[in-house]
Amino acid sequence: MFKRINWLAMWLIGVVTFGIYQIIAWYRITTQQNEMAERLGEKRVMNYIAVFLLGCVTCGIVPLIWCLLFFKQQKNLAQAKGIDLFPTTNAFVLWILMLVPVFRYYVLCTNHNKLCDVFEE
């Protein structure tokens, strides 16, 4: 059973806990999505704990690259299951996703919740 993530609650609780809850939530999301990818034989993405630690060293570059790879994995999973997700193939949308964290949370969590619904059927 895959856990749904409320993007607003994750963001607000993360602010209150100084980001600790967000790290845990992203770890769960990454683990769940990698399980979905394994079911379909797709490539796994790097675990979020490693991304967070490398992001501290690389001044935030690794998390941006990870987001792009995470979106790509979501797109591949959605295509395999035949569902539509929020359009992340448009370059303009990708720039907005990279520069506006709250919008990125919304899109990632919404797409993840749609994938959870499909994979539980």
Answer whether residue 1 is part of any domain. no
Is 72's pLDDT higher than 70? yes
Q: What is the pLDDT of residue 70?
A: 85
Is 58's pLDDT higher than 90? yes
pTM (2 d.p.): 0.81
Distance CA 52, CA 87 (A): 25
User: Range of 54's domain?
Assistant: 7-119
User: Model confidence at 89, in pLDDT bands (50, 70, 90)?
Assistant: low
- Tally helices (H) and strands (E) across the chain: 6, 0
Answer whether residue 2 is part of any domain. no
Answer whether residue 103 is part of any domain. yes
- Number of folded domains that form the chain: 1
- Please name the residues in contact with 33: beta carbons below 8 A apart, sequence gap of 6 or more: 45, 70, 73, 74, 77, 112, 115
Answer whether residue 40 is part of any domain. yes
Answer whether residue 15 is part of any domain. yes
Answer whether residue 31 is part of any domain. yes
Q: What is the pLDDT of residue 2?
A: 78
Distance CA 6, CA 47 (A): 20
Answer whether residue 62 is part of any domain. yes
Answer whether residue 38 is part of any domain. yes
Distance CA 8, CA 20 (A): 15
